[in-house]
Amino acid sequence: MAKVFCDFRFLLLVAAVVFIYIQMRLFATQSEYADRLAAAIEAENHCTSQMRSLIDQISLQQGRIVALEEERKRQDQECGQMKSLVQDLERKDLQRLIDNMQVPVAAVVIMACNRADYLERTITSVLKYQRLISSRYPLFVSQDGSNPDVKSKALSYDQLSYMQHLDFEPVQAERPGELIAYYKIARHYKWALDQLFYKHNFSRVIILEDDMEIAPDFFDYFEAAANLLDKDKSIMAVSSWNDNGQKQFVHDPYEIYRSDFFPGLGWMLARSTWDELSPKWPKAYWDDWLRLKENHKGRQFIRPEVCRTYNFGEHGSSLGQFFKQYLEPIKLNDVKVDWKSMDLSYLLEDKYSMHFANIVKKATPVYGADMVLKAYNIDGDVRIEYRDQSDFETIARQFGIFQEWKDGVPRTAYKGVVVFRYQTSRRIFLVGPESLKLLQIEES
């Protein structure tokens, strides 16, 4: 019994030890699990914290991305605007460059001295039609002397270039009683044309005086005529003036003639001709000098029927000579002629003589006294022959046209023929003693 009890106690002890061991192992396992769980929780919390931090960073980056995207869009918009602006500026600069690269048709020079009010009127008239084509017709004012009002007036315009001719050399007139103004004018013209042709290197120059207004088609007329001047070396210059351009003597704004008489008063000259004239330019009376046969050498001048310039200069060096009778009644063209579309080849030397002869040949001859009345009563063009200068002056006086001759040539004449309208579209041809022969017209 005691043995059994002893064995039982031993078993209980063993069981207690096993139980304690199991509890210890269980506790160790639980502790390890708890540690792992705590570590896992801590790791989870750390991960969660990192995730939150990452999410916050992602949100921040997303915000930055949105902001950057908006900034990029804004910059793209600004770049687009800048690009458009640059392109616009480039187009304007290119156009300006093209304009600057355009070869001018001709320089335009207004010759001035001491009439500031006249100069202003002339500049105003020229700028009215020159502004939009200024690159093709650069405008200059050339002043002779130092009149302060003229200089101030010229410098007040940004649209033109100013030149000043200061000449202190004494004038020695060749004949007693001569006006020294004509000597000063000749010096000024030579100086100004030398400047424009040789310093500024223009190929053509249009010369105006400070008492002129121009017609709406003034520049188109000269541009069309420039082609003739280049092609035909028998043309010495082109003028916008007709000495017999008074209202009662003109009709057709499209009609152009050749003339052996230099008209002046708004004219265009080529450099090649100036190369010839400049070295021998006269001391005075340059316009009459150009009318001498020894200087124009058989070359002729282009002039319109209806004037493209109007001379309002009642007061000047010529002291108003002929103004009331011949200058004031001049008809300034008011029709915008499209010269670019017109064929002017009939004005070339090899065609014009035949062209003009055909017109003269068709005219009805008128003889005897009362020629004015007879001409008025005839329908169509009329042809009247004169014997010599005196006879011409008598006939011209009856009609009221210019009677003056220079070096054997009547004003406006071509091969001795002076043509003008009389009251209507009827043309009157005053024909010289050699004219029909020169035009190869057989007398009937």
Q: How far is CA 208 from CA 266, 368, 383, in A?
A: 5, 42, 34
Query: Order of strands across the sheet with 427-431?
Result: 364-366, 382-385, 427-431, 418-421
Task: Give bridge partners of residue 311 from the DSSP assignment.
Answer: 212
Q: Based on the domain organization, do 341 and 389 belong to the same domain?
A: no
Who wins on pLDDT, 33 or 334? 334
pLDDT tens readout for residues 341-398: 999 999 999 999 999 999 999 999 998 878 888 888 888 999 999 999 999 999 999 9
SS3 letters across 148-172:
HHHHHHHHCCCCCEEEEECCCCCCC
Confidence of residue 86 (pLDDT cuts 50, 70, 90): very low
Q: Based on the domain organization, do 152 and 93 belong to the same domain?
A: no
Q: Is 334 a catalytic residue?
A: no
Average pLDDT value for residue range 26-31: 60
Q: Based on the domain organization, do 375 and 392 belong to the same domain?
A: yes
Q: Is the pLDDT of residue 4 over 90?
A: no
Find the domain containing 434 and state its range.
360-444
Write the DSSP symbol of residue 246.
B
pLDDT tens readout for residues 111-126: 999 999 999 999 999 9
- CB count in 10 Å sphere of residue 346: 12
Q: Is the pLDDT of residue 44 over 80?
A: no
| Cα–Cα dist 156/159, whole Å | 9
Of 316, 347, 378, which residue constitutes the final position of a domain? Answer: 347
Of 288, 318, 347, which residue constitutes the final position of a domain? Answer: 347
CA torsion 318→320→326→329, rounded to 10°?
Answer: 140
Most confident of 131-135, 141-145, 172-176, 319-323: 141-145
Q: Based on the domain organization, do 288 and 401 belong to the same domain?
A: no
Q: Based on the domain organization, do 338 and 364 belong to the same domain?
A: no
Note whether residue 147 is domain-resident: yes
Q: Based on the domain organization, do 281 and 229 belong to the same domain?
A: yes
- CB count in 10 Å sphere of residue 250: 20
| Cα–Cα dist 104/123, whole Å | 19
Q: Count of domains in the chain?
A: 3
Q: Based on the domain organization, do 167 and 299 belong to the same domain?
A: yes
Q: Based on the domain organization, do 121 and 65 belong to the same domain?
A: no
Contact between residue 221 and residue 137 where contact means Cβ atoms under 8 Å apart: no
Note whether residue 30 is domain-resident: no
Q: Based on the domain organization, do 276 and 409 belong to the same domain?
A: no
Note whether residue 241 is domain-resident: yes
| Cα–Cα dist 77/74, whole Å | 5
- What pLDDT, on a 0 to 100 scale, did the predictor assign at position 88? 53
Task: Give bridge partners of residue 206 from the DSSP assignment.
Answer: 108, 268
Note whether residue 14 is domain-resident: no
Q: Based on the domain organization, do 221 and 268 belong to the same domain?
A: yes
Q: Is the pLDDT of residue 50 over 70?
A: no
Q: Based on the domain organization, do 65 and 140 belong to the same domain?
A: no
Residue corresponding to tokens 């002397």: 145
Note whether residue 41 is domain-resident: no
For residue 396, the domain's CATH number is: 3.10.180.20
Note whether residue 43 is domain-resident: no
Of 293, 322, 347, which residue constitutes the final position of a domain? Answer: 347
- Residues 6 or more apart whose Cβ sits within 8 Å of residue 289: 282, 295
For residue 293, the domain's CATH number is: 3.90.550.10
Note whether residue 27 is domain-resident: no
- What pLDDT, on a 0 to 100 scale, did the predictor assign at position 92? 47
Classify 416 as helix, strand or coil. Answer: coil
- Residues 6 or more apart whose Cβ sits within 8 Å of residue 229: 204, 235, 237, 238, 268, 270, 302
- What pLDDT, on a 0 to 100 scale, did the predictor assign at position 321? 57
Q: Based on the domain organization, do 71 and 212 belong to the same domain?
A: no
Helical pair 218-231 and 116-130, crossing angle rounded to 10 deg: 80
Choosing from 117, 230, 287, 388, the catalytic residue is 287
Note whether residue 355 is domain-resident: no
Written as one string, the DSSP assignment of 354-381 is HHHHHHHHHSEEE-SS-HHHHHHTSSS-
Sign of CA dihedral 38, 40, 45, 50: positive
